[in-house]
Structure 1
């Protein structure tokens, strides 16, 4: 299952959210060696987690954290604008139809299907909210992985092994991701509607 949870809802899913932040520590600090902040609970968090972002969380067979993403509107503070402005040439991206996706995290025990499920969920979120694009910051080698998974970004700029990219939301890409995951478009939409249908815009897709 895919969960769509705002930061203000994480207290209602304590085990799931704590596992997400601990897995972020395992990935970003322990495996990738990033200079990140880890609190006494072992959680990796930053200032953007305090802005009530929207988390997309893929659950494993037991309902635990398998992988996750974090979304924020570009009309407010974002990592690309406030931490990596050089990757957009100093021209911030601010558009209500463009949201930023960061903190792509996989549980150490996740299998090869989780990344595709997260991409499908991100696509569902973008289409459901009526967005045009998502932007993000990632290690440059990830471009090859995104291409292999069927949804590569357009790279905006790269420096010191880090890139900024922009993804386009489209029905065609969404259908390809449904086929790659084996998850029907109806099931993907049902998860979204059940959790966000009364909260965020839900335009009709053909």
Structure 2
């Protein structure tokens, strides 16, 4: 089973190769496959303004160290997607607090996606987002996502607040959410995917 490795500014050198591959996978998914042309660069690496020393990366690595999924958490007291690019998605204001982080760049390796159903790797990454957030003392996570996500996440037992209306965007309809990080959400997501083993790698550090 894949395990979630947590990569921060402090331990990034241990994951130098994995991080480079992570950014190349992001380019393949978001630029080549999803055609997000605004992210196109001369080199096949997708990095944005929020890939800074404050970002926390979640890398799902299989038994041979291959990246099979990933995601990113960014503190909302720093510049982030909702607060600085899509503030109109939260008319009352983007939530900002030391214990609120933004969740972005969720992906599963295209080769491991399951047609017509959610991939088991998706379950590992989703659980990883919640478990890492809980471990770091993050109370809530905000996210700008496609409009189908609220229904899907609620089906997993996540407690969600929609921060505004759906926005019709050139890359697809999007909405902003605020999600509670709770042990109940972790447990229900684990049950939904039949996950019984620890998913956080022992070697993963957040210091």
Q: Which TM bucket (shorter chain)?
A: 0.7 to 0.9
Q: What SS does structure 1 have at the residue aligned with 2:163?
A: strand
TM-score with structure 1 setting the length = 0.83
Gaps of 5+ in 2: 114-118
TM-score with structure 2 setting the length = 0.83
Q: What SS does structure 1 have at the residue aligned with 2:37?
A: coil
Q: Deviations over 1:81-104 (max 9, x none)?
A: 000000111623211111101111
2:138 equivalent in structure 1: 131
Q: Which is helix-richer, 1 or 2? A: 1
Residue 7 of structure 1, CA deviation:
4.3
Residue 76 of structure 1, CA deviation:
1.2
* Alignment check: 8 A CA contact 1:28 1:36 kept: no
Structure with more relative contact order (C-alpha pairs < 8 Å, separation 6 or more): 2
Equivalent-residue separation in structure 2 for 1:61 and 1:151 (angstroms)? 29
Q: Deviations over 1:156-195 (max 9, x none)?
A: 122111100111111111112223344347x24x63x643
Q: Deviations over 1:95-145 (max 9, x none)?
A: 111110111122222241111101111111121122211001011123333
Instruction: Map residues 81-160 of structure 1 onto 2, 5 A cutoff.
Output: 81-89=83-91, 91-111=93-113, 112-151=119-158, 153-157=160-164, 158-160=166-168
Runs of 4+ in 1 over 6 A off after TM superposition: none
Aligned residues: 195
Equivalent-residue separation in structure 2 for 1:105 and 1:152 (angstroms)? 21
* Alignment check: 8 A CA contact 1:7 1:55 kept: no
